[in-house]
């Protein structure tokens, strides 16, 4: 499976500019036979709390329609983040659409980032979300979820790849890289983290730090197209080899963990 990670330098709260950036990225990689392209959290806005201005109706979302049309145009699966209305609040979504324009998965962030006040504006997700692409089971997560390992143990019961899209600031980038590597090792899966670059409207700076870690904990080297686009070749069969050769999950004591938690 060939995957493109796009470390988009998002223009703060400017959907039109970011749509143009996304289209340019897709045009750049279309000739490379990519199976899946992944963009950062809240792709067209950046990590904003201004939900009244930027949250869209789920049924009529222009952002969802844009990515559906783009997936059809370029014949590729696309993963993206979007803010959709949810009652009195909004919800932070990670959606994947197919080359036919079908919505294959729609995950809502389970752990809003309360440190930044996200929980005041965004509802918590209540369900784990997975999908299959070319027969490969894939689990979804968003940014701050990365700090909560329990959900990844659940996803990795079946999923061979786990994706995380983020707006993770440079000042905590060591945590980002370390946690992704840990989640890959402890779950024996490929873990793909897609982070933005640039600077947001709150003055936070973001370092290029998107990466892919193998089930054995190896940080893979990409084929870098430019400052934003990195392409990776992933072999899902390696996950099963790891599970068979070093069956860590067989020794988990789930009932005991429930008692002590």
Residue numbers annotated as active site:
41, 109, 143
Dihedral angle over CA of 26, 55, 204, 168, nearest 10 = -60
> Do the Cβ atoms of 32 and 80 come closer than 8 Å?
no
Please name the residues in contact with 199: beta carbons below 8 A apart, sequence gap of 6 or more. Answer: 205, 206
Please name the residues in contact with 124: beta carbons below 8 A apart, sequence gap of 6 or more. Answer: 108, 109, 110, 111, 112
Q: Cα separation of 211 and 213, whole Å?
A: 7
Residues 123-150: b if buried by 16+ CB within 10 A, e if exposed: bebeeebbbebeebbbbbbbbbbbeeee
Q: How many CB atoms lie within 10 A of CB 9?
A: 16
Element (H, E) at 162: strand 161-166
SS3 call for 88: coil
């Amino acid at each position: 499976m060939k995957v493109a990670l796009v470390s988009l330098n998002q223009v703060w709260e400017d959907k039109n500019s970011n749509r143009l950036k996304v289209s340019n990225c897709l045009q750049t990689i279309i000739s490379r036979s990519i199976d899946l392209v992944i963009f950062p959290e809240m792709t067209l806005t950046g990590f904003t709390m201004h939900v009244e201005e930027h949250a869209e109706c789920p049924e009529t979302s222009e952002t969802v329609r844009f990515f559906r049309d783009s997936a059809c145009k370029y014949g590729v699966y696309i993963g993206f983040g979007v803010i959709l209305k949810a009652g009195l609040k909004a919800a932070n979504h990670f959606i994947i659409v197919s080359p036919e324009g079908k919505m294959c998965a729609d995950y809502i962030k389970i752990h809003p980032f309360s440190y930044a006040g996200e929980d005041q504006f965004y509802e918590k997700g209540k369900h784990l979300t997975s999908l299959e692409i070319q027969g490969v089971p894939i689990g979804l997560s968003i940014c701050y979820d990365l700090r909560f390992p329990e959900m990844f143990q659940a996803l990795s019961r079946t999923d061979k790849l786990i994706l995380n899209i983020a707006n993770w600031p440079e000042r905590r980038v060591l945590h980002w890289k370390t946690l992704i590597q840990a989640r890959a090792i402890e779950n024996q899966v490929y873990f793909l983290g897609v982070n933005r670059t640039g600077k947001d409207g709150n003055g936070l700076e973001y370092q290029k730090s998107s990466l892919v870690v193998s089930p054995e904990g190896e940080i893979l080297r990409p084929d870098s197209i430019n400052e934003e686009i990195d392409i990776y070749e992933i072999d899902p069969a390696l996950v099963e080899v790891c599970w068979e050769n070093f069956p860590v999950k067989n020794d988990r004591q789930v009932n005991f963990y429930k008692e002590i938690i």
